[in-house]
Structure formats: C-alpha cells, structure tokens
Amino acid sequence: MKQNLYTKIWRKVSPDILDLIVYTNNQASIQLSNEMFEAAGSRKDYSFNLELVDGRISNNIEGSAVARDLAEVILNSSDWADFLSNKHIKIALNQEFTFRIQLL
C-alpha cells in the first residue's frame, strides 16, 4: 500500500491556505480540484475533519490518508508552527472538495 499519496498536493496548496487564514483572521474556504486528488489516489471519499490545538492533532484522523498527509505537511512546516502556537483550528474538506479552515 502506498503512503503519502496526497503530500505533494498539500505541499503545493498549504502556503496559500496559510495565507488565506492569516489574512481573513477567523475562517476561510477555497475550492480545490477533485482531479488533483483523484490523480493521486483512488478513494470513494476524500472528505475529512482535522482539528489542531496548539500545534497538535486533537481528533482521530487515522481513517483518512488525506487528512494524515495534510497534518504531516502542516506539522513539519515552520511557517505553520509559528501560526499554530496558542491556537485552535478546525480544517475540513467536504465531498465537493471545498476546503474550509476556521480559527476557533
């Protein structure tokens, strides 16, 4: 079984996502391309919920390779580490590939 199928996608879009949440302050959404995800892997459902509190994953994402790969990219980024300090954020990708991020 291949691992980190979605890491390349998240590395590409994570700087834009970080900029989006920094400049909107509370919440933002962006439409992602389903073709990117379908080219990387074959899943019935790419949707997920991910919560990070003070730079740590606070919910169970074991069932979602898409969320695990995003978490890995975020947690290994110094730019994200600076942003996540003392913050609680909720990230979600729905079945229509709308990516939402919210600062709680």
Q: Please give the residue range of the domain that contains residue 59.
A: 7-103
Q: Identify the band that residue 98 occupies on the pLDDT scale cut at 50, 70 and 90.
A: very high
Residue 91 lies in a domain: yes
Residue 1 lies inside a defined structural domain of this protein: no
Is residue 73 assigned to a domain?
yes
Does residue 2 fall inside a structural domain? Answer: no
Place of tokens 């954020």: 89
**Dihedral sign of CA atoms 1, 48, 9, 18 in order:** negative
Strand pairing class (48-53; 27-31): unpaired
Domain count, the chain: 1
Closest CA to 37 of 62, 61, 77, 10: 10
Tell me the whole-structure pTM to 2 decimals: 0.92
104 pLDDT band (50/70/90 cuts)?
very high
Q: What is the pLDDT of residues 30-87, one digit of tens each?
A: 999 999 999 998 889 999 999 999 999 999 999 999 999 999 999 999 999 989 999 9
